[in-house]
Amino acid sequence: MDYDFDKESKKPLIMRIFIKTLIWVAEIAAVIFLAYFIVYYALERTNMVGISMETTLTDGDQIIINKFSYRFTDPKRFDVIVFKQSGEEHSYYDIKRIVALPGEKLQIKDGVIYINGVAIEEIVNVELMANYGLATEEITLEENEYFVLGDNRNNSEDSRFASVGMIRREEIIGKAFIRTSPFNFVNKLNLIKETEAEEKAE
């Protein structure tokens, strides 16, 4: 009986092709999984709609949302958040700044925001508020509620008004992370300290 040496010599080649194909399939699966993870769990892109966050963010600014951080930590005061309220018909996300946290008491008097009876200092450049809306009287937030304001205080529909009201934790999509053009981290924009430093340098 003759031994088929050609058949035997082809085995390593077939094995190498099989392994390479397996690796190729695994790499494609990994890329698809990573893309899915980034889109649904980590990052998402959206646009700023309207002028309610000027001069921090302007209409049309492209924003990268960090959806991952709030899976491990709760939103903090002065975070700029992206949210979509339940039952709202519009398709775009809202972007506002948190000023009061769950369980806190909030009131606005003489243009000053009071949390639990103590005035807080603004960290960004904003105009003095002319309309306090619901916050004219003291408001007590529920355990899953956040009070948000637009940085353009006199041209913003936010938690001062019944049409928006308090933002529930489950309505928050994520943190406004990066403005893509011109590039900057959102939490670095329009800061009072930065403005003061620039004025001193001049």
The active-site residue out of 52, 67, 159, 175 is: 52
Is 52 tagged catalytic?
yes
The active-site residue out of 67, 96, 156, 159 is: 96
Is 156 tagged catalytic?
no
What are the backbone angles phi and psi of residue 93, rounded to the nearest 5°? -85, 150
What's the distance, CA 105 to chain centroid? 24
Per DSSP (E only), the strands in the chain are 43-47, 62-66, 80-83, 94-100, 105-109, 112-115, 118-119, 139-140, 145-149, 167-168, 172-180, 183-185
Rg of the chain taking only CA atoms, in angstroms: 26
Residue 180, token pair as written in the block: 């893509």
> Which sequence positions are flagged as catalytic?
52, 96
